[in-house]
Structure 1
Amino acid sequence: MTRGADVGLPDVEDLLATVPQGETPDLSGAYPRLDDDRIRMLSGQGSRRPTARGDVLIVEGRPDEAFVVVLSGRVAIVKEFGTPEQQVVRVHGPGRFLGELGLLTGQVAFFTAIVAEPGEVLEVPLDRLRACLMRDAALGDQIMRAFLTRRTLAIGEGHGFRIVGSRFSAGTRALREFAARNRLPHRFVDLEADADAESLLQAVGITPAETPVVVWRDTVLRNPDPAALAALIGQRPARTPSRLHDMVVIGAGPAGLAAAVYGASEGLLTQVLDSVATGGQAATTSRIENYLGFPAGISGTELAERAVVQALKFGATTCAPAEAVALDTSGLQHVVRVRGGDTLVTRSLVIATGCHYRRLPVPRLEEFEPTSIHYAATQIEAQLCVNDPVVVVGGGNSAGQAALFLADHARKVRMVVREHGLEEFMSRYLADRILRDPRIEVHLHTEVCELVGDGGQLEAVVVRDRDDGSRCTLPARELMVFIGADPCTGWLAGTVALDSGAYVRTGRAAGSDDGDRTARRTPALLETSIPGVFAAGDVRSGSTKRVASAVGEGAMAVRLVHEHLAHVR
């Protein structure tokens, strides 16, 4: 706890003069007040410290060092402190706790906390906080709900770093997708649409040709990749851990995250990797409405965010983006090689890499793919589609959810469906809602055969009727493609048994490929042809492509991991 000048920040008095009296009302449930019993319990794990006006408790851009509870006095929460855009966004009084979701996930802070009125705070080290949350489930729930809501507010209010670039740039799109998939507070500054884009670039000495850039306080990343952005916000360690793990999970979709939660909660030293972000294909879905326990539905990114925090609470570690590129199963332990040269050594492995959406087999696809063709329907795509005509290709649940979600933003949504009826591959409730929605126009037994546009910007798609061969042109500035998926198993070639579609074989279908290490064996239900290597979720041959079944398989895989580890000890 220091004065602003001690951490390289400017004097705080001018800012503190703008702090309003009292504290910010808690209208969202994001700023609850801890009761006296909880404060006494936490006091036994931390230390009380007096505060002076201007003390800096949390520094934006740096990791939180402790869980802080305000006992007396007032604390101002400031965004972009020390810049011309600095602003007091919240004021907290006695009983409220500070911090945000990054406190639990290891990300850096997205706000600065400055003492506006002297008093006293309670500081609890993070390792002791986690122990408290394990013992007091109600306290854990209260803090978790508050942190999740605070993250949602920060995203909605556009706090955090800025991504500056063209909406038609593939590099900009990759950064925005990474930020959205990881639910990172940020603001997009569009070179073509935002009036202040040019002045912002001039202020940091960047030309439009050097974009995209990420700007956060005094840091400017020129044309970064998602890994550089992850490092900026503390999401990815400089190198993956070199220790021997009990279980490594490749893929952080519903199956992988379920395995992480159950594995870590049962004492396994667990590491999770994902090549893009947590959530898998589920995170590209705007709303999951048929998942047990969420009658109002939940977005894929929110579900993933909750699962990640749950896994971290039990001691699992995550690393993203980190792409597994090869697997060596020749020794007693399995070795995963990660792009960039890192390796992970583990006693057991859960493959949960899921699938990636197929690309349309049409001419000029590569020309329009960086700017106008999308394989997800999140807030990022929704912002791109505002007042534009949109075509959604596909007849499954993902396509149906995308059409309904985008109808709230686009000028018109048209669905191109190969089947003769929506109900062939789509849940009945979705099909009924689409057919009743006047904003959505459905073209059955049709397929896209041509893309129309200039300068890399899509203008229309030509579709062909599969029955009579007739063609028509549909206006489209964006094309959303959900036409099935292929498994992400290229990195497994030559290691575990795959079926004809490149999905991972498990159980009796996998046979045994363990050489001289053991007697011939029948793999367990989710075990691959290599002992101790399991597969769960969409990547597994014969799996049910549903979130609930993926979660179940992830949990089941952990039970089988325990049996394997007991056998090889």
Structure 2
Amino acid sequence: MSDTPAANRRQVAQAETPDTIGAFPRLSDEQIAVLLVRGQRRTLTDGEVLIQPGEHPSSLYVVLEGHLLTADTELAADPRHSDESLAVEVHGRGRFVGDVGLLEGQPSFVFVSAIGAAEVVEVPVDELEAIVTSDPLLGEIILRAYLIRRSLAIGAGAGLRIVGSCFSPQTRDLLDFIARNRLPHRLVDLDDDEKAERLVRQLGATVADFPLVILGGSRTVLGATPARLAEELGMRPPAPPATCDVVVVGAGPAGLAAAVYAASDGLSVYLCDTVATGGQAGTSAKIENYLGFPAGISGTELADRSLLQVRKFGATLDIPTTVQEVVEDEDCFRVIFQDGREVTSDVVVLATGVRYRSLPAAGLDRFQTSNVFYAATAQEAQMCVDTPVAVVGGGNSAGQAALFLARTSSRVHLVVRAADLGAGMSRYLVDQIQHHPRINVLLSSEVVEAHGGNRLEAVTVRHGDVLEKLRVGHVFVFIGAAPATTGLKVDVARDPDGYILTGAEAELAGARTEGSPRFSLETTIPGVFAIGDVRHGSVKRMTSAVGEGASVVRQIHEYLNEGRHSRVCA
């Protein structure tokens, strides 16, 4: 590997980066000794490079002697980045480098090299995974630090550079994928960023090339889509398995739980989702009523931790990918994807969740691709800095979004149809919202019209017979819910709203021709199960979804043991 140019290295002071929030803990001698058993010592020369941006690192590095430098981009970066400040960190003995992407199979977004002569412990990633999942104390120190670092990188706009227009549906889709998968990035907006025009000229890009993504300061992906970017980053398996025991469609809390419990029981599992792991829960800034986390936990952290368990037990994860059809084929199922690939399985679990309905306000359709959102993540929060916004909805998701957006927005108008905020929202959220100085709650209200030219400028809210015009730059919609099965062809019975029938309701809807009574989570097709929010009659809570994910595995075992299928897929 090439050395860091000496002229640039001399600009970096060797004073260690302070650890103020737990992102850069120092391991004890005892903990280092544990890692030495799992890894090996490695001596480094001045400027020796350990990790390049865009590469998939294969090891954890812990400093024994000397110092390591990490930077947002290569110090020997492309001239187009010469005017950008570099996020530089310096780490000494006991510190370790990297972030959660090392455990999730993602490429590095930072450059790592030695400052002067140094010695490190090099721990292969498979050994690191074993430590994280088996050593409670050491594993938690490493994982917690990695999660904090990823949050810091996202907040700082490090990592990927996305060049596109916030008015472009393609750019919005790409940003949604990146944000939901918790990838650090920054948007270079063609409409707002003064650097955009110069960057476009340097790249020689045309209109057809947008959105484009710059990786590691040098690689460029033109006309980027979520699927293509995932392939470029090495986040997707090269091909799905030909056969498996269980295909789980949807990687929200229910799907993740089903995948983890099934894989831990020794079943071969293929887990897929159209966007990201975590589902709607993965977009929550803080979940305070989840059992076992008295201080609360963010949806992103919960999704990251669950993903590590999926990897630990050997399930195959494929994101983004869209299931187009589930076809019965003798005693197995052919799961056909939108891109033409197929997987054959003994069992299919539908855990696709729900989507929020669009807001039927006059004129709002014009802003769907620019100023209307159905999730509140760090990506959206960055777009709302010092800007008033409207959050529409009266459930927990709306309340969590209002509190999260109030951190950056100048004003949050929470528009609720009900006369009582507590009618559909947990008390802990109600109390926080009512005491927040930047949240304005409008009860018995609805958004009826949107106003603006190229961008949203205001909305009209009706309170009974009174109309009020509110100045807002963005609208966040969390009203109603529709099952996320649009485009999925599978011949299971559903209720009038599209939710999938299971158990007794499925028994009434479709006669069973063989075997024992239908399992409580089984659909009208034997061997096809539905769990979580997409299931008719389910409790729309994350803990309930996780419980159904665990319960369905026991029913899968019973189904497989009935011997009503060939097991040719095993």
Q: Same fold (TM over 0.5)?
A: yes
Question: Is 2:482 the partner of 1:486?
Answer: yes
- Deviation at residue 473 of structure 1 after TM alignment: 3.1
**Contact 1:255 / 1:352 at 8 angstroms: preserved in 2?**
yes
Question: Is 2:412 the partner of 1:413?
Answer: yes
- Cα separation, 2, equivalents of 1:32 and 1:485: 42
Unaligned runs of 5+ in 2: none
Instruction: Report the equivalent of 2:57.
Output: 64
Instruction: Report the equivalent of 1:233.
Output: 233
- Deviation at residue 513 of structure 1 after TM alignment: 9.1
Unaligned runs of 5+ in 1: 6-10
Instruction: List aligned pairs for 1:295-314, cutoff 5 A.
Output: 295-314=294-313
The one-character-per-residue Cα deviations of 1:338-365 (angstroms, maximum 9, x if unpaired) are 2211112222222111000101234444
Instruction: List aligned pairs for 1:487-502, cutoff 5 A.
Output: 487-502=483-498
Distance 1:386 1:54, change over 3 A: closer
Letter in 2 for 1:337: I
- Cα separation, 1, equivalents of 2:134 and 2:405: 43
Distance 1:411 1:70, change over 3 A: closer
Instruction: Report the equivalent of 1:523.
Output: 518
**Contact 1:407 / 1:439 at 8 angstroms: preserved in 2?**
yes
Instruction: Report the equivalent of 2:357.
Output: 358
- Deviation at residue 543 of structure 1 after TM alignment: 0.7
- Deviation at residue 219 of structure 1 after TM alignment: 1.7
- Deviation at residue 27 of structure 1 after TM alignment: 3.2
Deviates more, 1:507-516 or 1:129-138: 507-516
- Cα separation, 1, equivalents of 2:193 and 2:305: 33
Instruction: Report the equivalent of 2:205.
Output: 206
Letter in 1 for 2:52: V
**Contact 2:263 / 2:315 at 8 angstroms: preserved in 1?**
yes
- Deviation at residue 13 of structure 1 after TM alignment: 2.3
Q: 1:506 aligns with which of 486, 502, 505?
A: 502
TM-score norm. by structure 1 comes to: 0.89
Distance 1:297 1:164, change over 3 A: same
Instruction: Report the equivalent of 2:460.
Output: 462
- Cα separation, 2, equivalents of 1:444 and 1:119: 62
Letter in 2 for 1:534: F
Q: CA RMSD in A?
A: 2.7
- Cα separation, 1, equivalents of 2:457 and 2:10: 53
Instruction: List aligned pairs for 1:62-461, cutoff 5 A.
Output: 62-81=55-74, 82-83=76-77, 84=82, 85=84, 87=86, 89-206=88-205, 210-216=209-215, 217-239=217-239, 241-455=240-454, 457-461=455-459
SS in 1 for 2:259: helix
Letter in 2 for 1:123: E
- Deviation at residue 376 of structure 1 after TM alignment: 1.4
- Cα separation, 2, equivalents of 1:67 and 1:440: 43
Question: Is 2:5 the partner of 1:12?
Answer: yes
Deviates more, 1:435-444 or 1:64-73: 435-444
Letter in 2 for 1:532: G
TM-score norm. by structure 2 comes to: 0.89
- Cα separation, 1, equivalents of 2:231 and 2:550: 30
Question: Is 2:28 the partner of 1:29?
Answer: no
- Deviation at residue 246 of structure 1 after TM alignment: 2.5
SS in 2 for 1:347: strand
SS in 1 for 2:344: strand
**Contact 1:512 / 1:530 at 8 angstroms: preserved in 2?**
no
- Cα separation, 2, equivalents of 1:23 and 1:105: 27
- Cα separation, 2, equivalents of 1:43 and 1:443: 59
- Cα separation, 2, equivalents of 1:186 and 1:402: 21
- Deviation at residue 392 of structure 1 after TM alignment: 2.2
The one-character-per-residue Cα deviations of 1:531-553 (angstroms, maximum 9, x if unpaired) are 33222211111111111111111
Letter in 1 for 2:233: I
Distance 1:152 1:413, change over 3 A: closer
Distance 1:50 1:284, change over 3 A: closer
Instruction: Report the equivalent of 1:546.
Output: 541
**Contact 2:45 / 2:117 at 8 angstroms: preserved in 1?**
yes
The one-character-per-residue Cα deviations of 1:104-146 (angstroms, maximum 9, x if unpaired) are 1111111122122334333333334334444433332222122
- Cα separation, 2, equivalents of 1:502 and 1:236: 30
- Deviation at residue 184 of structure 1 after TM alignment: 0.7
Letter in 1 for 2:458: A
SS in 2 for 1:4: coil
Letter in 1 for 2:225: D
